[in-house]
Each structure stands twice: as structure tokens, then as C-alpha cells.
Chains A and B, each alone.
Chain A
Amino acid sequence: MRTATHSASSEEVRLREKRQPAGRSLWVAGWRRLKKNKLAMVGLGIVVIIALLAIFAPWVAPYDPVEQLIWTEGKAAQLAPPSAKHWLGTDLYGRDILSRIIWGARISMTIAVSATVVSLAIGVTLGSLAGYYGGKIDEIISWLINVTYAFPFLLFVLSIVAFLPASLTLVFVAIGFVSWPSIARVIRGQVMAIKETEFVEAARALGVNDFKIIFRHILPNVIAPVIVQTTLGMGTVIMIEASLTFLGFGTQPPTPSWGYEINLGREYLLAGKWWWSVFPGGAISLTVLGFNLFGDGLRDALDPRLNK
């Protein structure tokens, strides 16, 4: 480690400190750049709000999402348009749409996070093995990546989900199983580049085992692009989950799910009762927009090459 030598004048030390302020690591610098990016902060804001709504759904939602309100204000509660009492209206069964959207956020966010964990687990493991060892291992894993890539994403997930007993776990595991290649690809490339650097060579010369080299020395250095990929991937997962439930697969009723609500409301939309389908679709778009804005901002903030 470099320290100020005794011979250095105090002026020199002061200048050096000015050039490298304390704690200005990749993350601190990245966060500073991110904070300046207004769109990214809007995205982060959207994601945080939706996440909070999902966590605190039981306290935030004005009504029980599955309760069928028969009468309110002396009028039928079924398919009531947006009003002061039901901000986003009610559905055919007299359920409050706002409450169903808030509870639906739980399903979407749970699946987004869990599917991402599954795809990270597979992607990071296979990607680092391929990148670190190369040779036959790399060939096999690269072949697996190409095969998985060759499937149209939604069709693959549909084929898995449609045949097995419906459950939340199945949905996120299936999505995770299909979405790992993009992470594996990023990790593979990065690991390949970093394993040739001197500090990895030094670790190897010291007799550190491969497992430790990969997880302690290499992976912490490739985490930035993975975070970007993961954030952008969350939006995709939410979209896939909504598509599944829109087609009638995946999460089953009466569990509130955004895609399912759009599906239920579509007939009534064409009969002029637009609110049942329009608002849940808006919720999906807003959430995905949040992840996209934030992910784009993260990429700009964490990729030093773009920061000239």
C-alpha cells in the first residue's frame, strides 16, 4: 500500500488527498454519479415505492383484495367506475381494484426477486466455472448457454409451467431456469479477463485454492455488470410473470396478480368498462419502467468506460 513518504511536503500530501478523497471506491463514485442522474433516481423511487407497497400491503390496501363488496353507497359494487371510495373502481365480483393491484405487487415483486436469485445462483456458478477453467468445461457450458438462448423465452417458461401443478415456487424456479444465460455470459467474459491479472496470479502463486480465488478474489471484481444485468432482468421477469397469468397459467386465482386481472377485465374493456384491465396494466408498465430507468442509470454510473 502506498503511503505518504516522510520526504513529501505537506502540500504534496494535501494535493494527493484532494485527488483521491477518502473512501472514493467504485461504489461511492458510482453512487455519486447515480445521484446526479435524475431519470435513474425516478426509477429507483418507483421501485422503492412499489416494493414498500408490496411489503406493507395488508396495512396499505384500503380493502381486502378478495372480499366481494356487495353494496356500497346504495349502488351495486360490481364494475363500479373509479370514485372517491374506490379510487380505481371495482371488478365484476365487487372487489376493490386498487387493493388487488397493491396485493398483486406482492406476487410480482416476490417472483421478481426469487427468480433473480435462482438465475443468479445458476448464472454466477456456471459463468465463473466456464470463464475460470476454460477448455472442455467452457465448451459444455457455452453450449448450454446457446441451447437455452435458442428457446423463445416465454414459450420455454410456458412449456414448463403449463404441465406441472401450479404454484408460486414453480413460476419463479421456471423463470430462473430460463433467464440465467445472460448473467452467465457476462460473468464468463469478465472472469476470463480478470483471471489473467496479476493479483489473481499472485493468489495462485501463494497456493490459494480455485474456489477461494473465484469467490474471494475474482467475483467481487465482476459484480458491477452483474448488478446492472440483474436490475434490468427484474423488469423482464415481471413482464414474463404477467404474460403467464394473462394466458391463464402461473399464479392461480383468487390470488391477485396483475396479468390475471388484465385477462379477467379484457372482455369488459371492450364493453367500455376500461378500468379493470387498464389499471393493472399501468401498474406493470410503471414497475418495469422503474427497473429499466434505474438499470440504465446503474449501467451509466458503474461502467467507468462511459464516464469519460
Chain B
Amino acid sequence: MGRYILRRLLAAIPVFLGVVVVVFILTTIVPGDPARIMAGQAGKPEDIAKIRKDMGLDDPIPVQMINFVKSAVTLDLGRSYRNNMQVTEAIASRLGATAKLAGLGMLISIVIGMTVGIISAVKQYSLLDYGSMFLALLGISAPSFWVGLLLLYVFAVVLRWIPGTGTGNGEFVYLILPAVTLGVRPAALIARLTRSSMLEVVRQDYIRTARAKGLSWVPVTLKHALKNAMIPVITIVGIETASLLSGVVLIESVFQWPGIGRLFVEALTYRDFPIIRGQVLTLAGLFIFANLLVDISYVLFDPRIRYS
């Protein structure tokens, strides 16, 4: 197991290096002089020249790239053009808010998605099945930011059950709507997949055997079928973690949530390259890590998959 994890970690290195290079290229071959942006509207030419020198912008592109790879590996991503804050510090200060949001969102989606999926599979072709699968399809098709606005309108404006946007004084109630919004799409995907995966498993001989032994539906479904139906579900949870990271950009913008998603949009608006680079790297790194966890969890759920 240890060797397997090590090998997977090593395989992730070239992918991460590729990401670093692409990020560098993206933020380098764009119009607009970062030094000029940093110096501001009233920046004198000599200030701009000094900033260019300090930031190494006068170095040849390959040298800049090697420096960038070095700084990415050592997590020294420079300072924000806008407020001179360390990039790692700026991201770390916002990561907590996003982690709370994404964690709760994923939890909601797993609980709701799997429950709905299991019920749909057990009650296949019932009204409940059709109804929930139609809802799931809607959940996949509706843009998350729009769903967020609708929820905000219904629960904060019409019903007044929940306060509006922002974080208040950190009360839990402010977290509910954005987390639910974030969870809608993964919940819908998980529900669909759990259903189809369960249906496939329920038809297997060993389930029939368990039923023939006299076991009732509930333990058979939960103990025998669910465990084997979990593998595709784990995959989708892994993949959705990535789109959740994209989703926070939109949802934090709708709910004025002070996480890394909003930091990203602010950085884009101000062309704050170091922050943008840092964020894309952080998120891509998190995504690669999430995939690694998915691969490792396969082995835990399915002994047939070998560490190879």
C-alpha cells in the first residue's frame, strides 16, 4: 500500500509541473505590463523600471519560467500587485471560509444524493423514482449561480427565514444557503449514479442469495449492495470536488462569501497576476490530490483492484 501511494505521488509530479508551466505561459503572454499595473495610474517611468527589475520581469522568458517553477515548488509565490500581501498568506487567509463552504456542500450532496439514489433504485419505476430522477436532471442542468439567486430570493426575500448574503458574525445560518447551492449539482450527479450503480448490483446472484437466506431488504441493500455500488460514487465525488472548486468562484460571488473564489474574481478584475497564478496552482494541486485520494480509496472499497 505504501509503495502504491508513493508511486501515485511520483506520477502526479510531472502533471503538476505541466500545470506550473501552463500557468506561467498563460499569465506571461498577455497584453498589459504588470509593473505598470503595480505602479498605479500615477506611476513614474523610473518606478515602473524599478518594479520590473525587482520582479525579474526584465529577465529572459526561460529564466523567468525557471524562477517561477522554483518559486512554485518552494511555495514562495511572491506578493500581490495590489496590496503587497504574500500570495500564500492571502490564499491561506481565505481558504478557511471556502473549506467550510465546500465541506458542508459536499456533505449535503453525499447525504442527499446517496439517499435519493438508493430509494430510487429500490423503488424503481415508481412515481418517487421518476420524480426524483427528473429533479436530479434539473439539478444538473440549472446553472448553480442562478439556483443560488433563486434560493436567496425565496428564503431571504420572500420567506425571510434566512438572512441575506455575507457571513454576518460567522453564524452558521449564513452558511446554509451557499452550501446547499454548492451541493445541488453534485447531489444530482451522485443520486443518478448511485441509482444506476445500485440497480446493476441488485441484479447480481449474491444479492439473490442473501435474500434467499431470508435476510430482509434493508440489511441486504445497505450492507451487501451499497458497498459494491460505492465505486462509481467515489469516482464522482472525486471529480466533483474539482468542479466544486470551480463552483465556489460563482457561488461566493452570489453570496458575497469571503473565500478563495471571490479572491480569484477580485484578482482577475485587478489583473493581480501573482494571486491568480497562486490560486490556479493551489486549486490544481488540490485537484490532483483529490484524484490521488480517489485512487487510494478504490483499493479500500474493492479488494479486486490491485496496487498496480
Number of interface residues of B (CB under 8 A): 48
Interface segment out of the listed B52-60, B93-101, B170-178, B263-271: B263-271
Q: Knowing A266-B254, A281-B142 touch, does A155 contact B279 (C-beta < 8 A)? A: yes
Which residues of A sit under 8 angstroms from B246, Cβ to Cβ?
152-155
* B268 and A246 form a contact (CB under 8 A): no
Task: Tell me if B85 counts as interface (CB < 8 A to partner A).
Answer: no
The smallest C-beta distance from B149 to any residue of chain A, in angstroms, reads: 6
* B32 and A235 form a contact (CB under 8 A): no
Task: Tell me if A169 counts as interface (CB < 8 A to partner B).
Answer: no
Interface segment out of the listed A62-70, A95-103, A113-121, A270-278: A270-278
* Complex interface residues of chain B between 124 and 159 (CB less than 8 A to chain A): 137-138, 140-143, 145-146, 149-150, 152-153, 156-157
Q: Knowing A143-B14, A158-B268, A270-B153 touch, does A163 contact B27 (C-beta < 8 A)? A: yes
Task: Tell me if A147 counts as interface (CB < 8 A to partner B).
Answer: yes
Task: Tell me if A159 counts as interface (CB < 8 A to partner B).
Answer: yes
Q: Knowing A147-B15, A163-B32, A164-B30 touch, does A289 contact B149 (C-beta < 8 A)? A: no
* B279 and A164 form a contact (CB under 8 A): no
The smallest C-beta distance from B272 to any residue of chain A, in angstroms, reads: 11
Which residues of B sit under 8 angstroms from A159, Cβ to Cβ?
23, 26-27, 268, 276, 280
Number of interface residues of A (CB under 8 A): 43
Point out the residue from B23, B31, B137, B247 that lies within 8 Å of A165, measured CB to CB: B31
The smallest C-beta distance from B200 to any residue of chain A, in angstroms, reads: 11
* Complex interface residues of chain B between 248 and 277 (CB less than 8 A to chain A): 249-250, 253-254, 264-265, 268-269, 271, 276
The smallest C-beta distance from B7 to any residue of chain A, in angstroms, reads: 15
Task: Tell me if B245 counts as interface (CB < 8 A to partner A).
Answer: yes
Task: Tell me if A251 counts as interface (CB < 8 A to partner B).
Answer: no
Task: Tell me if B307 counts as interface (CB < 8 A to partner A).
Answer: no
* B157 and A272 form a contact (CB under 8 A): yes
Task: Tell me if A208 counts as interface (CB < 8 A to partner B).
Answer: no
Task: Tell me if B298 counts as interface (CB < 8 A to partner A).
Answer: no
* B284 and A150 form a contact (CB under 8 A): yes
Task: Tell me if B69 counts as interface (CB < 8 A to partner A).
Answer: no
Task: Tell me if A88 counts as interface (CB < 8 A to partner B).
Answer: no
The smallest C-beta distance from B89 to any residue of chain A, in angstroms, reads: 20
Task: Tell me if A60 counts as interface (CB < 8 A to partner B).
Answer: no
Which residues of A sit under 8 angstroms from B242, Cβ to Cβ?
152-153
Task: Tell me if B243 counts as interface (CB < 8 A to partner A).
Answer: yes
Among B143, B145, B149, B279, max chain A CB count under 10 A is at B143
Having A152-B284, A247-B250, A285-B146, one finds 20 other A-B pairs with CB under 8 Å, namely A147-B22, A150-B15, A150-B287, A150-B288, A154-B250, A155-B279, A159-B23, A163-B271, A235-B141, A242-B143, A243-B250, A246-B145, A262-B143, A266-B254, A270-B164, A272-B157, A281-B150, A284-B146, A288-B142, A293-B137
In order of increasing CB-CB distance, the 5 nearest A-B pairs are: A281-B146, A147-B18, A163-B30, A154-B246, A289-B141
Return 7 A-B CB contacts under 8 Å, by A number: A152-B245, A164-B30, A270-B164, A285-B138, A288-B143, A289-B137, A292-B140
Which residues in B have some Cβ–Cβ distance to A below 8 Å? 14-16, 18-19, 22-23, 26-27, 30-32, 137-138, 140-143, 145-146, 149-150, 152-153, 156-157, 164, 242-243, 245-247, 249-250, 253-254, 264-265, 268-269, 271, 276, 279-280, 283-284, 287-288
Which residues in A have some Cβ–Cβ distance to B below 8 Å? 143-144, 146-147, 150-156, 158-160, 162-165, 235, 239, 242-243, 246-249, 259, 262, 266, 269-270, 272, 274, 277-278, 281, 284-286, 288-289, 292-293
